[in-house]
Structure 1
């Protein structure tokens, strides 16, 4: 092993030891997202059709007078994409902590990335 390789290994070990739990979790989610073929959420642009993979942070039913929505924040370790199902009150398996891959066209609502009525695949529980 060369000197540069040893230094690189030492840097990785030190970074892992000094990283916060949130940083380690984000790194793990980015790795898992890449394994499932997901585009990093921070790279998603308006109008782009993407597949994003990550963990659901929150799931909220929003009753509205004209059309109810189910909204879920998907975090992949780089950014959050909000998944919105129009006209839905509940979807089996869509719950906080669940891993999934969602596909659809990215829209921007306010300052948030949103995918309306995404196609999705639930990952098996760990």
Structure 2
């Protein structure tokens, strides 16, 4: 009975909710921290899909900002002094690590170490 309910739930679920489940599975498989569990000041490793990438020119320090969604919540990845990073584009799966801070009132990692994950990997498996 439980298997039938699970199949029915997957057949009637929205694409967004199924994607969120897949992203959360990648978080668990890679032993990463869920974005919804982040605390300021902690050093973390996160994995998810980039929802948006925006370059913000500035007179002082230009920034490249990417919103990473892991199925539970979003986090900003902020690269200072960068206009573009090859492969960092919306829809790309990324694993990043760094210290959590605040940027424009949201959790963020500044100048994170990152790994671009293979395109088309449903749960972010390594190639």
State whether TM-score is above 0.5: yes
Give secondary structure in 2 for the equivalent of 1:57: strand
Distance 2:20 2:88 in 1: 21
Distance 1:109 1:68 in 2: 14
Map of 2:9 onto structure 1:
15
Q: Considering only CA atoms, is the larger Rg found in Structure 1 or Structure 2? A: 1
Runs of 4+ in 1 over 6 A off after TM superposition: none
Map of 1:117 onto structure 2:
111
Q: Number of matched residues?
A: 120
Map of 2:125 onto structure 1:
none
Give secondary structure in 2 for the equivalent of 1:82: strand
Deviation per CA, 1:81-122, whole angstroms, max 9, x where unpaired? 100000001111111111110001111234311100000011
- Which residue of the other structure, out of 18, 21, 24, is the alignment partner of 1:24? 18
Label 1:110 to 1:92 Cα distance change in 2 as closer, same or farther (>3 A).
Answer: closer
What is the root-mean-square deviation of aligned Cα atoms in Å?
1.2
Distance 2:59 2:111 in 1: 19
Distance 2:64 2:38 in 1: 22
Q: TM-score scaled by structure 1? A: 0.89
More helix by share: 1
Structure 1: give runs of 5+ residues left out of the alignment: 1-5
Correspondences of 1:1-126 after superposition (within 5 Å): 6=1, 8-126=2-120
Q: TM-score scaled by structure 2? A: 0.88
Distance 2:103 2:56 in 1: 16
